[in-house]
Chains A and B, each alone.
Chain A
Amino acid sequence: MSKADLKTYIELDELMRTLTTTHEANRRFGLAHPKLIGDPMRLLGLWVAKQRHLLQAPKASEHFESMLSQVTALLLLLAVVLGFFTGAGLLQYHGDRPINVLYFFGAVFVLPMATMPLPLIAMWRAGRSESMLVHLLPAYWMEQIVRFARRDMQMMPKIAPLVVNRMMIKRSQELGAAFYLGLLVALIGMVASRDIAFGWNSTLQITSEEFHRFTSAVAIPWKACVPQAVPSFELIEKSRYFRLGGGLDEQMIRDAALLGEWWKFLAMTTLVYALLTRLVLFVLASFGYSRAIYGSMLAIDGVRELLHQIQEPLIKTQSPTTEEPFVIIDAEGMNIVDASQLHYQTVIGWALDKDTVALYNEREGITASIVLEAGGLQSLEDDRKATEDVSGNILLYVKSWEPPTMDFIDFLDMLCAHTKESITIYPVGIAQRGYRAAEAEFDVWAKRIGVLAKSQIRMKR
């Protein structure tokens, strides 16, 4: 998985809300980057880069990023300065007694170790939209104050709570590291610029042996590579002082050079337990932050669909053209008759043989002087002949389930040309329906015949 960044996340969010891309264009993009299939972050990053120019200026991402950089730079500077002055304060030396290393040790060992669980638990609980532990981080409060003071920051893009929480955790580690950097600079600066005598004392009943064991354990990480930064038993014993003893005794003054050796231990403690641990936490937080952006990018409405479109083969089955609208002409005034008339001069079966026509006649009680066939297997010449053979009023049987084709309409035109008598079209249904035309079938016929608008034609239901 590639690294995800906040700018891409914000821009992607904006693009998904404002831009409409086609499936084809997205798939083309995927095919242009075949090696990136399976790496959604890089694909999305490149896709955003390609579409970025379509975002309206001023871009929210750039505005937010610049704001974030300014605030971060300001906070980091503050943290370095605070660290430096804290270090300078802890190393304030008046010459009348040695500086108690425990104060500085407390700041660079006890404090970072004690606060380390906070970001770790915060990372674990970062998924909550209102993570309590995130609210304890200094970065959260500094951010709140800046946001409160700067109205324009309140108008910033909406970012997923998970990302915000992870951002706070990450930035707290940056601020922590900056603070300890300031502390380390103060230590080195004070050691370089002043002759400092370190010592240690405590109200607690701690023997020099015990304290030596403790400092040796603390110094394990660098014991092999920087042995001179591991306090010797001699140093511990000689640098212990008691308040009632007046701070500095004669022996301590004689061992002044030795007392100064503590700085190496303090510097390494700062480096390893304060800076290095923050660095490790920072790496962890950065990883979590990156994962949070990744997850939040995928959670943006439409992004998963976009990834599918980019990565999966585009299978299209639909027609690229639109169908011409079909206009249904409303035929009004079609003369529809009931089955009252029982005798016709001519009965014609359209695509029906004479036997079937006879069957229909019998069923309906219809009698006819002439029975003719047309359509179906008859030739066009046969049809012409049939139109010449008609006489008097005509009953024309048609299959109700077969809609009228132009073949039939041509025949009807021909018939109308040969006779002025009435032509009754009778759509007959299938046997299973008792030879009754279904309503829809009859309507189809009525509409089509109605379009002809010929008064001599009527329809029998």
Chain B
Amino acid sequence: MGEEDWSVGKESDQDEEMSRDYPRFAVVGHPNKGKSSIVSTLALDESVHISSTPGTTTSQRAFPLKIDGKLLYELYDTPGFQRAREVLEWLKREDIGADQKTGRVKLFVDTFRNDPRFHDEIELLSPILGGAGIIYVVDGSKPYGVEYEAEMEILRWCGQPSMALINLIDETDHVEEWKRALGHYFRLVRVFSPMEANFSQHRVLFEAIAQLKEEWTASVNHSMELFALYRRQNISQSAELIASLLAGVLSHKVSQPITSEAVSEQERTQLSERYKKEIRALEEQAMRKIAALWSHSEIEKEDSLNHFLDVDLFSKESESIFGLSKKELATMASVAGGATGAGVDLMLGGSSMMLGALIGGLVGGAGAMFGFDEAAQIKVLGQKLGSRRLEAGPMKNPNFPYILLRRVLYYAIEVANRPHANRKKIQMDQERILSCEWIDGKTKRSLEAFHYRFRQDVAVDEKQLEGYRDLIQSILMEHISN
């Protein structure tokens, strides 16, 4: 695989070394034992086909770990063995010493490269012969079987560093018998459940993989640091998305022009529905972004809390001239009148005792107050000076931000902690969400101050959003395996 050079300036010697001889690992085994699930979880890739139907993986597929285009290691998903006994019999046909066994396997691959009968074996053996370490996968929930021995023997012939992973697909446990059998073929045997593995288990597995070959240790350890960095970056960005969502939703308003004399109940209901729809869309959008951030774009959710917006929402009528409400226009006119009066006072050298300012202010304010409606109807250049609108939002219900916050936190934590092999729907269960004790009293008080601020019609500045983001981030850090 060619390497892209993204770097600016000279790379360090260590980096260059890593780039030239990066570790490779081929995940191999019997069909339908969870190889693709393991690859999906280790590579954080949801595009891997996972199915109970055997033979879903038909060719090798590489999953490189790259940082800024620089390759650190490569993981291969491979098809399962199909004719292991036949391959092994072919390998054993010649009486050869241990030093020639790898060569014999290479000869097999070269000989049968175009033979469709051995397509799967060629696909799985090629990366190993190209230098990949072997990660042999078995299902520890099913009994050990002698039919595995042929394929384990073939792998031994390859002469590459190897380890076995016992994948617990079901609840039944045959791990010990597998360990006894695998111990004869592999130096390292580990249990790993890709459907449930959290980041700590991921890390432990990589620590084991790092031991396979001394030359690979630095690169694999560095990869683990990168995974941790990747998670921190994602936590930070998730917090940012959640903070922006809350700030956006709590300040969200909708309005529509009023055409008739009186606002009908239907108009109010329509506006209220539109408001709720927009809030749902904002939440959905944020959730989609969070899922994409964690490479879970395809994940689905089952939401039993569709009525989380069933809270009272009041709508109100507003009228404005040049964007100013009646009160604002009256204040403005009062100031303008006062200033004009003050000018007259100034011209009289103060002898009017500021009566001009007082009268001007009163006349201006009262004029705007009483003449507002008439002024709004005046047409200039074909346009009315005033406009009437029906407005809904921002949501004043004090519990609403916490319901929304809990929902989106729950979703983010679920997505972040979910291995990529797990394709089940996220259950947005109301009771489970509301029972999560994520927000303690102190945090709630801090959050409340921000929620109050978001509800005001004030632009939220960077610092405030940062403060809110930090609170969210600390909650996420606590609950996302890192």
Tell me if B56 is interfacial: C-beta within 8 Å of chain A.
yes
Taking a contact as CB atoms under 8 Å apart, the answer to whether B68 and A132 are in contact is: no
Taking a contact as CB atoms under 8 Å apart, the answer to whether A32 and B8 are in contact is: yes
Q: In the complex, A28→B8 CA distance in Å?
A: 9
Please report which residues of chain A, range 136-189, place their CB below 8 angstroms from some CB of chain B when the two chains form the complex. Answer: 136, 141, 144, 148-149, 160-162
Q: In the complex, A294→B465 CA distance in Å?
A: 14
CB neighbours (8 Å) of B459 from chain A are 126-129, 160-162, 292, 295-296
Taking a contact as CB atoms under 8 Å apart, the answer to whether A318 and B86 are in contact is: no
Q: B54 touches which one: A130, A379, A403 (CB < 8 A)? A: A403
Q: Which residue of B lies closest to A411 (CB)?
A: B85
Q: Which residue of A lies closest to B89 (CB)?
A: A380
Taking a contact as CB atoms under 8 Å apart, the answer to whether A326 and B62 are in contact is: no
Taking a contact as CB atoms under 8 Å apart, the answer to whether A318 and B147 are in contact is: no
Q: In the complex, A401→B346 CA distance in Å?
A: 100
Tell me if B180 is interfacial: C-beta within 8 Å of chain A.
no
The listed residue with most B CB atoms (<10 A of its CB), out of A298, A314, A405, A430, is A405
Taking a contact as CB atoms under 8 Å apart, the answer to whether A323 and B54 are in contact is: no
Q: Which residue of B lies closest to A431 (CB)?
A: B143
Taking a contact as CB atoms under 8 Å apart, the answer to whether A314 and B31 are in contact is: no
Q: B462 touches which one: A126, A298, A379, A399 (CB < 8 A)? A: A298
Q: In the complex, A396→B244 CA distance in Å?
A: 63
Q: A136 touches which one: B30, B325, B332, B457 (CB < 8 A)? A: B332
Tell me if A321 is interfacial: C-beta within 8 Å of chain B.
yes
Taking a contact as CB atoms under 8 Å apart, the answer to whether A401 and B350 are in contact is: no
Q: In the complex, A195→B306 CA distance in Å?
A: 83
Q: B81 touches which one: A148, A401, A405, A433 (CB < 8 A)? A: A405
Q: Which residue of A lies closest to B382 (CB)?
A: A151
Taking a contact as CB atoms under 8 Å apart, the answer to whether A444 and B54 are in contact is: yes
With contact pairs A132-B331, A318-B47, A319-B43 given, residues A202 and B146 touching in the complex (Cβ less than 8 Å): no
Q: A203 touches which one: B49, B83, B142, B351 (CB < 8 A)? A: B351
Taking a contact as CB atoms under 8 Å apart, the answer to whether B457 and A129 are in contact is: yes
CB neighbours (8 Å) of B84 from chain A are 405, 407
Please report which residues of chain B, range 158-179, place their CB below 8 angstroms from some CB of chain A when the two chains form the complex. Answer: 172
Taking a contact as CB atoms under 8 Å apart, the answer to whether A447 and B53 are in contact is: yes
CB neighbours (8 Å) of B80 from chain A are 405
Q: Which residue of A lies closest to B322 (CB)?
A: A144
Taking a contact as CB atoms under 8 Å apart, the answer to whether A203 and B349 are in contact is: yes
CB neighbours (8 Å) of A50 from chain B are none
CB neighbours (8 Å) of A315 from chain B are 65-67, 226-227, 229-230, 233
Tell me if A317 is interfacial: C-beta within 8 Å of chain B.
yes
The number of residues on chain A lying at the interface, defined by a beta carbon within 8 Å of a beta carbon of chain B, is 78
0/1 interface trace, chain A 302-331, chain B, CB 8 Å (1 if under): 001100100011111111111110101000
Taking a contact as CB atoms under 8 Å apart, the answer to whether A127 and B458 are in contact is: yes
Please report which residues of chain B, range 17-70, place their CB below 8 angstroms from some CB of chain A when the two chains form the complex. Answer: 30-32, 42-45, 47-49, 51-59, 61-69
Q: B350 touches which one: A28, A202, A410 (CB < 8 A)? A: A202
Taking a contact as CB atoms under 8 Å apart, the answer to whether A326 and B30 are in contact is: no
Q: In the complex, A322→B68 CA distance in Å?
A: 21
Tell me if A210 is interfacial: C-beta within 8 Å of chain B.
no
Please report which residues of chain B, range 209-257, place their CB below 8 angstroms from some CB of chain A when the two chains form the complex. Answer: 226-227, 229-230, 233, 237, 240, 244
CB neighbours (8 Å) of B145 from chain A are 351, 376, 399, 402
Q: In the complex, A295→B83 CA distance in Å?
A: 63
Taking a contact as CB atoms under 8 Å apart, the answer to whether A376 and B62 are in contact is: no
Tell me if B82 is interfacial: C-beta within 8 Å of chain A.
yes
With contact pairs A203-B350, A407-B82 given, residues A318 and B63 touching in the complex (Cβ less than 8 Å): yes
Tell me if B381 is interfacial: C-beta within 8 Å of chain A.
yes
Taking a contact as CB atoms under 8 Å apart, the answer to whether B229 and A128 are in contact is: no
CB neighbours (8 Å) of A296 from chain B are 459
CB neighbours (8 Å) of B375 from chain A are none
Tell me if B440 is interfacial: C-beta within 8 Å of chain A.
no
Q: In the complex, A299→B457 CA distance in Å?
A: 16
Taking a contact as CB atoms under 8 Å apart, the answer to whether B61 and A319 are in contact is: yes
CB neighbours (8 Å) of B467 from chain A are none
CB neighbours (8 Å) of A292 from chain B are 459
Taking a contact as CB atoms under 8 Å apart, the answer to whether B53 and A326 are in contact is: yes
CB neighbours (8 Å) of B89 from chain A are 379-380
Q: B61 touches which one: A34, A323, A433 (CB < 8 A)? A: A323
Tell me if A440 is interfacial: C-beta within 8 Å of chain B.
yes
CB neighbours (8 Å) of B289 from chain A are 305
Taking a contact as CB atoms under 8 Å apart, the answer to whether B332 and A135 are in contact is: yes
Q: A132 touches which one: B59, B143, B328, B336 (CB < 8 A)? A: B328
Tell me if B444 is interfacial: C-beta within 8 Å of chain A.
no
Q: B380 touches which one: A148, A291, A321 (CB < 8 A)? A: A148
With contact pairs A316-B65, A317-B65 given, residues A430 and B143 touching in the complex (Cβ less than 8 Å): yes
Taking a contact as CB atoms under 8 Å apart, the answer to whether A318 and B295 are in contact is: yes
With contact pairs A304-B240, A326-B56, A432-B172 given, residues A318 and B45 touching in the complex (Cβ less than 8 Å): yes
Tell me if B461 is interfacial: C-beta within 8 Å of chain A.
yes
CB neighbours (8 Å) of A375 from chain B are 85, 147
Tell me if B139 is interfacial: C-beta within 8 Å of chain A.
yes
CB neighbours (8 Å) of A106 from chain B are 346
With contact pairs A32-B8, A314-B68, A380-B85 given, residues A326 and B58 touching in the complex (Cβ less than 8 Å): yes
Taking a contact as CB atoms under 8 Å apart, the answer to whether A130 and B61 are in contact is: no
Q: A148 touches which one: B6, B229, B383, B457 (CB < 8 A)? A: B383
Tell me if A377 is interfacial: C-beta within 8 Å of chain B.
yes
Tell me if B371 is interfacial: C-beta within 8 Å of chain A.
no
A355–chain B nearest beta-carbon distance, Å: 13
Q: B64 touches which one: A162, A304, A316 (CB < 8 A)? A: A316
Q: B47 touches which one: A294, A322, A401 (CB < 8 A)? A: A322
Q: In the complex, A87→B392 CA distance in Å?
A: 50
CB neighbours (8 Å) of B31 from chain A are 403, 405
Q: In the complex, A449→B332 CA distance in Å?
A: 86
Q: In the complex, A244→B190 CA distance in Å?
A: 110
CB neighbours (8 Å) of A313 from chain B are 67-68, 226, 229
Tell me if A406 is interfacial: C-beta within 8 Å of chain B.
yes
Tell me if B117 is interfacial: C-beta within 8 Å of chain A.
yes
0/1 interface trace, chain A 381-425, chain B, CB 8 Å (1 if under): 000000000000000000101111111001000000000000000
Q: In the complex, A309→B93 CA distance in Å?
A: 56
The listed residue with most A CB atoms (<10 A of its CB), out of B44, B229, B322, B459, is B459
Please report which residues of chain B, range 332-362, place their CB below 8 angstroms from some CB of chain A when the two chains form the complex. Answer: 332, 335-336, 346, 349-351
Tell me if A102 is interfacial: C-beta within 8 Å of chain B.
yes
Taking a contact as CB atoms under 8 Å apart, the answer to whether A403 and B67 are in contact is: no
CB neighbours (8 Å) of B85 from chain A are 375, 379-380, 407
Q: A130 touches which one: B69, B323, B380, B460 (CB < 8 A)? A: B323
Q: A202 touches which one: B64, B349, B457, B462 (CB < 8 A)? A: B349
Q: In the complex, A414→B85 CA distance in Å?
A: 15
Q: Which residue of B lies closest to A322 (CB)?
A: B47
Q: Which 6 A-B pairs have the closest CB atoms?
A: A403-B54, A406-B82, A162-B459, A127-B458, A351-B147, A127-B459
User: Can you list 28 residue pairs at the A/B interface with Cβ under 8 Å?
Assistant: A100-B349, A106-B346, A127-B460, A130-B324, A130-B328, A132-B328, A161-B459, A295-B459, A298-B462, A308-B233, A313-B68, A315-B233, A316-B66, A317-B45, A317-B64, A318-B44, A319-B47, A319-B61, A321-B62, A323-B47, A351-B147, A376-B145, A380-B85, A405-B84, A406-B82, A406-B120, A430-B172, A444-B53
A319-B62, A402-B147 are known; give 13 further A-B pairs, CB within 8 A: A31-B6, A31-B68, A128-B459, A135-B332, A136-B335, A313-B68, A315-B233, A317-B45, A317-B230, A320-B64, A323-B49, A326-B53, A406-B83
* Interface positions of B (Cβ within 8 A of A): 6-9, 30-32, 42-45, 47-49, 51-59, 61-69, 80-86, 89, 117, 120, 139, 142-143, 145-147, 149, 172, 226-227, 229-230, 233, 237, 240, 244, 289, 295, 322-325, 328, 331-332, 335-336, 346, 349-351, 380-381, 383, 456-462
